[in-house]
Structure 1
């Protein structure tokens, strides 16, 4: 790309929301962004940020097509006007690429069909992603539509790591294996960490910590292991997801509590994690309760830290050498207390946090110069990563 000012319209279409950003991938400058929530409800809300500031409006937006029209109207009213300054491409976050898509892909009729065939692997997210692609293609018929998959970065995980020890029919007929998610964030954070370290061959563990959370072992820029599996439920403790549990718990609850598979699935995805431990999935609320001496909150905090440390240790053994640990995602970037608790338990690796560095802002090394293990904070920028992959394609 020769024009540093060319921008990509990045789309994250959910079942009832539309998040968008017009970003220049070379400079990282965001020219406009917004979020539409409660699509399909009685009243939808649009918040748009442009050159003139942030505006908010409410109206009824029944579906994805109407949401995209509202987005274009927001750009026209508050800038920049997409009709006068069109993007060079539209980049779509798509949750699941299965084994078929391991890189950003130009969407045509055939690719769209293949993405639709992956709906059984992500039934809550994939249909919304497809609706976003269709609406964008109708609005911008002359622009390339590019799908960037959450699973793509983990396409390099070796068979020994992505294969589950389950019946062959499950693996071959029903595509049961580890796929991993948050790939766009892990790709961005590991790339920025390697640049800060000045080492393309760095072996690191990236911890994406938000309402959803995952760990990823990265060797020389390649994902070699990750904590999420067939679905985003496996792995770390999350806002409302349990993470790792004994699989036999499902059968146990079916027998003793009469719960159906759907009820168990809903509970593990929506009523567990921090919500199951303390009744709230907001980590800031949890931290306030810990600071106030709440023993229930302290136990939940300790559970989160224990799971993180366990994964870092396991991935260090998988990598054979651990050069860095990277914190990213909303909680990873903003919770100094969590970083401190985790790093203190990584003393085995010679990890020492520098409180002054850790109190800073932005991407930075937060470990002490005397630390044998480098600890970094890298704010994630999935939109810019998607935009970069669009122009590289």
Structure 2
């Protein structure tokens, strides 16, 4: 081997070493860049974690405010019902007083006429304007005594008539005052009722604004977390694939039961309330609606909520999402079915009660995370759970 050949071999070895080092350097640089990105991603996730903590505290405070407003709304609605009952009772009393005044006025007119007639007979005697002529006109002492007794008796009767007349007039005056007082009280009640309604509407608007804020913050939070998680997945190596699979597995939600394994005769269940269906079962605005909504649709009167079937009250309480809600457990053909009634204004049953089909369990309302008075109604084949994996379309149970 000559010197030139040796130089060529050494040159090739050097070139190979340089090439290998360059590839290694590229790998190191790439790993370094990935680590830097991972560190930055982790810092952003830490910031997001702090934001999440703050948002959850904010949501907790808003939920507490909403719960307080719902309680105040329920109390106000009950006060309005009570005031309406008092006003109706007061109107009945006023009608009775007016009838009594009418009778008294007729009686006063009759007695006035009677007194006038007696006055003409007693005091307008021919040739005389007093009782002396009546007494002096006696022909004998016994006649004199008789005349005196008659005149005395007549004057006593007149005095009694005058007293009755005066009493009736006084009673009439008192009753009129009572009527005026009750009318004033009635007007004050109507004013108070109107103010209560205004206050109630303002509280509802405030609650809806708070709910919108909560929903917006929840949306932003979910979007931010999804973005950060996606970045984390893209930056991790083969080990992160397992974490990614686990993450996707945790994040995925089990699909609701699409069809009943055993068809239950819908006639076993009744419609839980009156009104138009405003929202159906299934996907809705990027989420899943596990029930149906039946609206109040501008009705001002109380709308009762009835048990769709006989069963036991499993829950009757308040939650920030459902508001005032009830869960009933039914046994149909050996199968357990649970129905849920949410956003009620008032609960008329308690946990452990056994209710019959069609029995009133509450009133339609707007409590919890709700925009407008309605009933949110769910049906669960086998029992309610947080994942709502047993939910089915309630329309299958609404004849």
TM-score scaled by length of structure 1: 0.22
More helix by share: 2
Q: Highest Rg: 1 or 2? A: 2
TM-score scaled by length of structure 2: 0.21
More strand by share: 1
